[in-house]
Amino acid sequence: MESPPPKISLLSLLLFSLFSLSSAASLCNPSDKRVLQQLKNRLNNPPDIAFTGWTGDCCTWFGNIGCDSNGRVTSFNIFLTSSPTAQQIPPAIGNLPFLQSIEFHGNLTGPIPDSISNLANLQSLHLSSGLTGSIPGSLSKLKKLTSLDLSGNEFSGSIPPSLGQLNSLTYLDLSLSKLSGSIPPTLARLAKLGWLDLSSNALTGPIPASLSQLTKLGRLDLRANRLTGPIPASFGSFKNPEINLFFGQNRLSGPIPRSFGNANVSALDLSMNRFTGDASFLLGRDKTALETLYLNHNHFKFDFSKMEFPITIRNLDIQHNEIYGSLPKQVGQLRWDFFMVNNNRLCGKIPTGRRLKHISPDNFTHNKCLCGVPLPPCKI
């Protein structure tokens, strides 16, 4: 055993002193520390591991609290896992004026305290689960907010139109709650928005045509609501080839506007609505971004025989419609991950090809007269 060369010791000594210096520089601001202690008390000192190390310099507390170089608290990350009773978010959280990020999850209840709207430096607010009441319109004061995730709560009432003033927002998720009322058209002012998820609520009324102004959008998810009316004609202007549009499980109706065929999208879900008429123009060889198309459980009625598919397509579900004609040859050559055409009015021989014969017959049944592998042989 030889002792480490003195150079290394010197280096570690240097590193050690640098480390102590930097931690000394980030000593928790006394006022912020007081607020944090107060928060812990208001949460009834839950036995959670998140709170076990809450002594000494608050800036070093178990990775749940982050500070800037002046010792001001900038992030609050708490997952209440073992609180025996649901806790309300203490309004005192609004007294941490340098907060940039709040992640607060677990056994929560009650409303979002209005005091959160005073946190002018807040960039990210993620709260779940079990919160109730309505989403405060005063959140619109948080001008630096880039990410607002309130999914997985029990919020009621409608989406405040004032959220359209959060013009730094890139991410908005209000899914999995009990929101009602209509989608405020003001959300179309969120020019930087890349992600909008309002799915699994009880929203009613039409899809606002103005949402087509959101040119940065990569995902628009409105699934599982009670939306009515048509797909807005303006949605043909979605040209981001990476965009995913989900409108499934609503009460949308009417024919698909022709102009929507000009959209260039990667995934489109129109399933489980009341759409009628032609949807064939949503496909085509030039739709080279399209991977997923769900038209299932509607009243679409068009001739499938002349359809042309982009080679990119992997998932097609048209089951439970009134689609007629035959399956085009090209269908046998594509690389399907998911393919369902059952319960339509299709007829004729299923095209041969390496892919289709391994798919369950159920995915072809209940048509007018489809035949051949994997269904029974065609007569004649």
Ligand X SMILES: *[C@@H]1O[C@H](CO)[C@@H](O)[C@H](O)[C@H]1NC(C)=O
The binding site for ligand X (CB under 6 A) comprises 83-86, 107, 241, 264, 286, 288-289, 336, 338-340, 359-360, 362-363
Give me the least distance between CB of 358 and ligand X, in Å please.
7
Q: Is the dihedral of CA 224, 230, 234, 239 positive or negative?
A: positive
- Which of 351, 340, 352, 349 has its CA nearest to residue 369? 349
User: Nearer Cβ to ligand X, position 119 or 290?
Assistant: 290
Write the CA distances from 179 to 87, 103, 154, 174, integer angstroms. Answer: 21, 21, 8, 8
Separation of alpha carbons 76 and 58, rounded Å = 11
User: Nearer Cβ to ligand X, position 70 or 360?
Assistant: 360
Separation of alpha carbons 82 and 184, rounded Å = 37
CB 155 within 8 Å of CB 129: no
Give me the least distance between CB of 86 and ligand X, in Å please.
4
Give me the least distance between CB of 286 and ligand X, in Å please.
5
User: Nearer Cβ to ligand X, position 97 or 218?
Assistant: 218
User: Nearer Cβ to ligand X, position 72 or 297?
Assistant: 297
Give me the least distance between CB of 276 and ligand X, in Å please.
25
User: Nearer Cβ to ligand X, position 52 or 288?
Assistant: 288
Q: Taking the C-alpha atoms of 273, 279, 284 and 290 in order, what is their torsion angle to the nearest 10 degrees? A: -10
Task: Take residue 163 and report the two structure tokens written for it.
Answer: 């959220």
Give me the least distance between CB of 190 and ligand X, in Å please.
24
User: Nearer Cβ to ligand X, position 87 or 158?
Assistant: 87
Separation of alpha carbons 55 and 359, rounded Å = 61
**β-pairing, 73-80 with 65-67?**
antiparallel
CA 301 to chain centre: 31
List of residues 6+ apart from 3 with CB closer than 8 A: none
Give me the least distance between CB of 340 and ligand X, in Å please.
5
User: Nearer Cβ to ligand X, position 86 or 373?
Assistant: 86
- Which of 159, 166, 167, 221 has its CA nearest to residue 185? 159
Give me the least distance between CB of 130 and ligand X, in Å please.
8
Give me the least distance between CB of 22 and ligand X, in Å please.
38
Residue with the CB atom nearest ligand X in the bound state: 241
- Which of 296, 204, 319 has its CA nearest to residue 250? 204
Give me the least distance between CB of 274 and ligand X, in Å please.
23
Separation of alpha carbons 360 and 356, rounded Å = 9
Taking residue 52's Cβ as centre, other Cβ atoms within 10 Å add up to 10
User: Nearer Cβ to ligand X, position 146 or 264?
Assistant: 264
DSSP class per residue in 216-273: T-SEEE--SS--EE---GGGGG---TT-EEE--SSEEEEEPPGGGGG---SEEE--SS
User: Nearer Cβ to ligand X, position 96 or 340?
Assistant: 340
